[in-house]
Amino acid sequence: MNAEFEQQLKLPVIPHQASYKETHMTRPWFVVAALATSAALLPLIAGAQTQSDNAPPPYRPSLADLMGSTVQPRHVRLALAGREKNWVFAAYELKQLSDAFDRLSVQWPQWRQQRIVELVETIVRDPLFELDIAIKDKDEAKFAEYYGHLTDACNACHQAALQTPVVIQDPKEAMFPDQDFRPKQ
């Protein structure tokens, strides 16, 4: 800075202050000290970011958790949307259900002796595709038929995975009392 400009700003002048051209950032000793300090602290910073041996492992939802929290509610909402002929919401729920199966297959590519992705692709994908056609055609009868195919596919998948106690059915009533499934005008 020049002296006239400093006078205008009324900045205090410190006798040992470096000139504008030579600040502490350009001094070689400062750069070396900063690099040395950074190198010395790096192991401490990196060590603080890793999990300790006593820390619990990250949470991984079980296959049953994912089925109960992501697949089954969407299966129910899809049925309710179709019953109300809310084709926009049915299309949305069908996409959400398909995506839930994709995420489930990534989280659990294999469960016990079963390859989940193969079960989903060979048993569940076709009924999802059929439902997509029924929804696009706004065909209530085909929707009901294809929804039955999807429900049968869910049960076939459970049978293949030796989960015979898990039986899926067409929902008898809405389990979402706070949601209106009728189409919006």
Question: Cα–Cα distance between 74 and 76 in angstroms, integer?
Answer: 5
Confidence (pLDDT) at 175: 80
Q: Is residue 182 part of a domain?
A: no
> pTM score > 0.85 for this model?
no
Whether 95 and 143 share a structural domain: yes
- If asked whether residues 37 and 113 sit together in one domain, one would say no
Position 168 scores a pLDDT of 93
Q: What is the pLDDT of residues 75-117, one digit of tens each?
A: 999 999 999 999 999 999 999 999 999 999 999 888 888 888 8
Asked if residue 172 belongs to a domain, the reply is no
How many distinct structural domains can be found in the chain?
Answer: 2
* 20 and 72 fall within a common domain: no
What pLDDT score was predicted for residue 29? 59
- Does 156 fall in a domain? yes
The answer to whether 168 touches 72, Cβ cutoff 8 Å, is yes
Position 57 in a domain: no
Q: Which domain holds residue 118?
A: 63-160
Q: What does R_g of the chain's alpha carbons equal in angstroms?
A: 31
Instruction: For 108-124, write each residue's pLDDT tens digit.
Output: 888 888 888 899 999 99
Residues 81 and 137 in one domain: yes
pLDDT, residue 31, reads: 55
Do 80 and 38 share a domain, yes or no? Answer: no
- What is the pLDDT at residue 37? 66
Domain check: are 33 and 71 in the same one?
no
CATH number of the domain that 71 lies in?
Answer: 1.20.120
Question: Would you say residue 109 lies in a domain?
Answer: yes
pLDDT at 152 over 80: yes
166 lies in a domain?
no
> Smallest Cα–Cα separation from 183: which of 91, 73, 71, 98?
91
Higher pLDDT among residues 77 and 22, named by residue: 77
Considering the domain architecture, whether residues 115 and 76 belong to the same structural domain is answered as: yes
Is the pLDDT assigned to residue 68 strictly greater than 60?
A: yes
Instruction: Give pairs for 135-138: CB < 8 Å, separation 24+.
Output: 135/82, 135/87, 135/90, 135/91, 135/94, 136/87, 136/91, 138/85, 138/87
84 with 152, same domain?
A: yes
Percentage of the chain beyond pLDDT 70 is 72
In a domain, 176, yes or no: no
Residues 68 and 143 in one domain: yes
Asked if residue 183 belongs to a domain, the reply is: no
Higher pLDDT, 106 or 16: 106
The answer, yes or no, to whether residue 57 has pLDDT greater than 60, is yes
Q: With cut-offs at 50, 70 and 90, classify the pLDDT of residue 39.
A: low
Reported as half-sphere exposure (CB side, CA atoms, 13 A), residue 9 has a value of 9
Residues 6+ apart with CB under 8 A from 89: 77, 81, 181, 183
Alpha-carbon distance values, 13 to 10, 20, 26, 49 (Å): 9, 12, 20, 43
Tell me the Ramachandran region of residue 93: left when phi exceeds 0, alpha when psi lies from -120 to 50, beta otherwise. Answer: alpha
Q: Are residues 90 and 20 in the same domain?
A: no
